[in-house]
Amino acid sequence: MISDEMLTGRSEAHLAPLSGPHRLQPEAVQAFLRLQQAAAAAGFDLQPASTFRDFDRQRAIWNGKFHGERPLLDHQSQPLEALALDVPARCEAILRWSALPGTSRHHWGTDLDIYDPSRLPDGQRLQLEPWEYLPGGYFAPLTAWLTAHMAEYGFYRPFTEDRGGVAVEPWHLSYRPLAAPLEARLTPETVVAAWQGKDVAGADWLCANIDRLFTRFIRTTHGE
């Protein structure tokens, strides 16, 4: 049983090791290893770039972007000056690429960002930006292979269509059998409760608008 603490990234009791620092729920680990093995047979070195991320790590990302201490990008992946934006515009710009603390799918142990290090040019750092994964990008062949085969292993992409909320993320895979019921359980009330006693930048505006933000940025699958 996944508790509210696990759901919002405040507990790690639901996790098992995958590789190196990477962790997922045990069932998701086994499913990804099967997907990884199939990818290897097709000539890909499928590796995790990011798996579980806890509440405080997500809060540090959020607060850093809010206070202008981390890069903030617009819809075209171009830099924005965070402190030049008012609080509503700033929060919505952050939400384009980064989840609110307590709402990240990376809290659940079901989701991961992937890449193929063998296809990354020498000296090039992984950006996790759409151009790397779309036609013409380093990882476009991996994207195409995953599109054709990942569902056989229980995976899908929750961010495949730009509906004016979260940007398209072709690198982000989710293990549907575990993720779908967790997404259904996550509520505005659960998230706001997780913020109690925590410094979440912009919290007053976020709490006043949490229902609308859930619809636009957090309910990612829209019935899938």
- pLDDT of 128-172, one tens digit each? 999 999 999 999 999 999 999 999 999 999 988 766 667 789 999
pLDDT at 167: 78
68 to 84, 91, 96: CA distances (angstroms): 9, 12, 16
pLDDT at 76: 78
| Cα 35 → chain centroid | 19
How far apart are alpha carbons 98 and 21 in whole angstroms?
A: 21
- Is the pLDDT at 173 greater than 50, yes or no? yes
- Is the pLDDT at 221 greater than 60, yes or no? no
Banded pLDDT at 200 (limits 50, 70, 90): very high
- Is the pLDDT at 58 greater than 80, yes or no? yes
Question: Is residue 166 classed exposed, middle or buried when 0-12, 13-18 and 19+ CB atoms within 10 A define those classes?
Answer: buried
pLDDT digits (tens, 9 = 90+) for 11-46: 999 999 999 999 999 999 999 999 999 999 999 999
Amino acid (one-letter) located at 159: F
pLDDT digits (tens, 9 = 90+) for 79-112: 899 999 999 999 999 998 899 999 999 999 999 9
φ, ψ (nearest 5 deg) of residue 163: -100, 20
C-beta atoms surrounding 211 within 10 Å: 10
Domain 4-218 indexed as CATH 2.60.40.10: no
What is the arithmetic mean of pLDDT over 214-222? 75
Give the residue from 60, 55, 39, 66 showing the smallest Cα distance to 155: 39
The 8-class DSSP code of residue 151 comes to G
DSSP bridge pairs for 50: 113
pLDDT at 224: 29
Instruction: Return the beta strands (E) in the chain as ranges.
Output: 16-19, 22-24, 47-50, 72-73, 79-80, 111-115, 155-156, 172-175
Token pair belonging to 92: 């919505």
What is the arithmetic mean of pLDDT over 177-182? 97
pLDDT at 154: 98
pLDDT at 160: 84
Q: Are 179 and 171 in contact (CB under 8 A)?
A: no
pLDDT digits (tens, 9 = 90+) for 104-126: 999 999 999 999 999 999 999 99
Cβ neighbors of 120 (< 8 A, separation 6 or more) are 126, 138
